[in-house]
């Protein structure tokens, strides 16, 4: 009698595993989609950081060519082109004023940050900061929905 109940129980419960693979596939699909969205968001932030760094490099190269005219013309014994904090700041502001609006306008909360200037009179140092927002905001990145603050520094040597 017990064997009969076991055989009946096995036949009744034999089909209970049907449909479980669909649930597993849905869970793996959702996890894969979330992973793809997170990687796409991080890649976008990285690319915007690289764009900001390229702008800082251009500003540092331009500022390294900017000399303090007063020191250059009044001190004939100067062996190199002297840089000052004021000349670096002026070169950065002139470059940004002359550049198209799309150069710095594509960044949110764009600013020239400290330490912009020259630490030793030979190197022009430019620091830029901006806020970037991920284009796709999966639930994993919700704590950072207001964006990420990025800051880059570039240096240019005066020749």
Q: Output the pLDDT for position 77.
A: 65
Mean pLDDT of 5-14: 68
How many CA atoms, within 13 angstroms, populate the side-chain half-sphere of residue 7? Answer: 4
Give the span between the Cα atoms of 153 and 53, in whole angstroms.
7
Number of domains in the chain: 1
> pLDDT of 27-55, one tens digit each?
999 999 888 888 888 898 899 999 999 99
Q: Would residue 96 count as lying in a domain? A: yes
pLDDT at residue number 41: 85
**3 is a domain residue:** no
- Is 11 a member of any domain? no
Per the domain annotation, does 14 fall within a domain?
no
**Are 86 and 156 within 8 A, CB to CB?**
no
Structure tokens at 111: 């600013």
* Percent of the chain whose predicted confidence (pLDDT) is above 70: 80
In a domain, 6, yes or no: no
**Separation of alpha carbons 138 and 155, rounded Å:** 36
Q: What is the mean pLDDT of the chain?
A: 82
pLDDT digits (tens, 9 = 90+) for 90-136: 889 998 888 887 777 788 888 888 888 888 878 889 999 999 888 87
Say if 12 falls within a structural domain. Answer: no
Range of the domain at 77: 19-157
pTM (2 d.p.): 0.74
91-101 pLDDT, tens digit per residue, is 899 988 888 87
Contacts of 99 (CB under 8 A, 6+ apart): none
How far apart are the C-alpha atoms of 112 and 100, rounded to whole Å?
A: 17
């Amino acid at each position: 009698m017990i064997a009969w109940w076991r055989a009946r129980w096995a036949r009744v419960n034999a089909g209970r595993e049907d449909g479980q693979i669909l649930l597993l596939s849905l869970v793996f699909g959702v996890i894969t989609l979330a992973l793809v969205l997170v990687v796409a968001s991080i890649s976008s932030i990285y690319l915007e950081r690289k764009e900001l760094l390229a702008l800082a490099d251009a500003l540092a190269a331009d500022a390294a060519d900017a000399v303090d005219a007063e020191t250059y013309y009044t001190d004939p014994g100067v062996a190199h082109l002297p840089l000052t904090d004021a000349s670096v700041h002026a070169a950065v502001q002139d470059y940004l004023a002359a550049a198209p609006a799309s150069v710095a306008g594509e960044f949110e909360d764009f600013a020239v940050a400290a330490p912009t200037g020259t630490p030793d009179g030979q190197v022009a140092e430019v620091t830029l900061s901006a806020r970037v927002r991920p284009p796709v905001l999966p639930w994993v990145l919700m704590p950072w929905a207001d964006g990420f603050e990025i800051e880059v520094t570039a240096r240019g040597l005066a020749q």
